[in-house]
Chain A
């Protein structure tokens, strides 16, 4: 049972000089889903997210709600409804927590809804409220990840792209973040999650794709993939 098609990536290729990082990848994401792309370091996961956000060039096509994104400038893709939580969180360490959140509202004009969204973010992450006047650089890794997710929520996007939110966090914090992702998803956001932590991400995902050296080698529901012997051996530690 599939819903409305939100994002469709077709025959995507990314090259860096002579290196072909993404080789003919196709996948799609439906409204309301959590979809995960899992793969090892260098499999091309981050490159795929960067193409969707329009910050690196690519061949192939990416469409969102039926509109081709090729000619759309990176800074207006957010306005179309796609926000990214980048690899390594991308927190501005010289800006306060509040400023980090505020920056993500750049394209928005709906003042009342912005005020409500701050409250929503602070309700999800009470730590951010406590630290809203502190510089982003003073936060711990887990708090920075909360801020990165909060920031993506402030842009009021419908589709959130998350690039390895578990990176560098303790298992307990990873669990917390993933529970919040589920909560955000239930509240209506669609999530495309790129992860090396296959266990956690397949657990919360409705569908998953396995990426190896720039190609999709397996696909299926989260449960199917968790049961797949190849995935078990390569990503779930036997």
Chain B
């Protein structure tokens, strides 16, 4: 029993990181109907920003987090302006290729600057508590609590603020929004800033949990988060959160009860089956009606 609780805790930790990254995919898709395939690499950049700030500026956890998130958010906005905005009315496939190109650029640019894996210093005092025979670390608590709070804040922004209302309106029909006096480009930039910023936060937390980072770390994690977003229903914010936790749980549970090499194979098989029965994802809706 304690073993299961331990695994649930691990699943929450991994799931919350997937969920944070999945939110970036889903927000950008929701507003531009475009998959930002560079998002996994922005997650990686988040981990590297964390490394640079922690090692060279010797800042503590909170300022490192804030600066990393801010840095990745700015990078996301710049990428959108320079690389994606000119292609907004181009064929969808061009935008996808551009996004893949931006991702490869980020990977190789980072590789050029940092050819060897880096080690992120421990920014959080490592404490472990035992509850019964379940052990829980300070890092786990911070990752789970921080991710959940970021998700609550995001949900509040999207559902309750004026800017969030504009984001939802753009996701429904971009062409009508300027007629309401809403500056569409600013809202798109804000969406990119928030979405990539969350990916950056995830990168930092992932880097703290698994402290050896390299320029290719965003590829597999990025794919998994993308799949989480699709499983939850791409474009749906709560769906991305749910999808992230589902994928995290499946992976951890498979590894806990089966040989760990089965992990990705079983996880992806389950997700493929789920998509056969719910092709629009768990909370996704078939083609939103534009009236």
A interface list, Cβ under 8 A from B? 53-55, 73-79, 83-84, 86, 88-95, 99, 102-104, 106-107, 137, 141, 144, 151, 155
Contacts and interface: CB of A to CB of B under 8 A. Distances in A.
Given A90-B175, A103-B177, 18 more contacts: A55-B178, A74-B178, A88-B291, A90-B176, A90-B179, A92-B169, A92-B173, A93-B288, A93-B290, A94-B172, A102-B162, A103-B165, A103-B169, A104-B180, A106-B166, A107-B181, A137-B289, A155-B181
Contacts of A90: 173, 175-176, 179
B171 A106 contact: no
A126 to B, nearest CB: 22
Interface residues of B, number: 22
B134 to A, nearest CB: 41
Contacts of A103: 165-166, 169, 177, 180, 182
Nearest to B169: A92
Contacts of A73: 178, 183
Nearest to A107: B181
Contact of B179 (A74, A99, A102, A137): A74
B173 A76 contact: no
Contact of B178 (A75, A92, A94, A137): A75
Contacts of B183: 73, 75
A85 to B, nearest CB: 9
A88 B184 CA distance: 20
Contacts of A95: 165, 168-169, 172
A134 to B, nearest CB: 14
A104 B181 contact: yes
6 contacts: A53-B179, A75-B180, A75-B183, A89-B291, A92-B172, A106-B181
Interface string B175-200: 11111111110000000000000000
Contacts of B173: 90, 92
Contacts of B177: 103
Interface string B255-291: 0000000000000000000000000000000001111
Contacts of A79: 181
B166 A78 contact: no
A78 B181 contact: yes
B52 to A, nearest CB: 38
Nearest to B164: A99
B179 A55 contact: yes
Interface string B150-171: 0000000000001001101101
A94 B181 contact: no
Nearest to B186: A75
Contact of A106 (B172, B180, B290): B180
Given A92-B173, A93-B291, A94-B172, A106 B179 contact: no
Contacts of B180: 75, 78, 103-104, 106, 151, 155
A151 B183 CA distance: 17
- Give the interface centre of B171, B178, B184 by most chain A CB atoms within 10 Å: B178
Contacts of B175: 55, 86, 90
B181 A75 contact: yes
A93 B181 contact: no
Nearest to A154: B180
A52 to B, nearest CB: 11
Contacts of B168: 92, 94-95
Nearest to A151: B180
A151 B169 CA distance: 14
A94 B173 CA distance: 10
Contacts of B165: 95, 99, 102-103
B156 to A, nearest CB: 15
Nearest to B184: A75
A86 B169 CA distance: 15
Nearest to A88: B291
Contact of B291 (A54, A75, A76, A144): A144
Contacts of A92: 168-169, 172-173, 176
The 7 closest A-B pairs by CB, nearest first: A78-B181, A90-B176, A74-B178, A107-B181, A106-B181, A75-B183, A75-B178
A95 B184 CA distance: 17
Contacts of A141: 291
B191 to A, nearest CB: 15
B291 A84 contact: no
A191 to B, nearest CB: 16
B89 to A, nearest CB: 12
Nearest to A141: B291
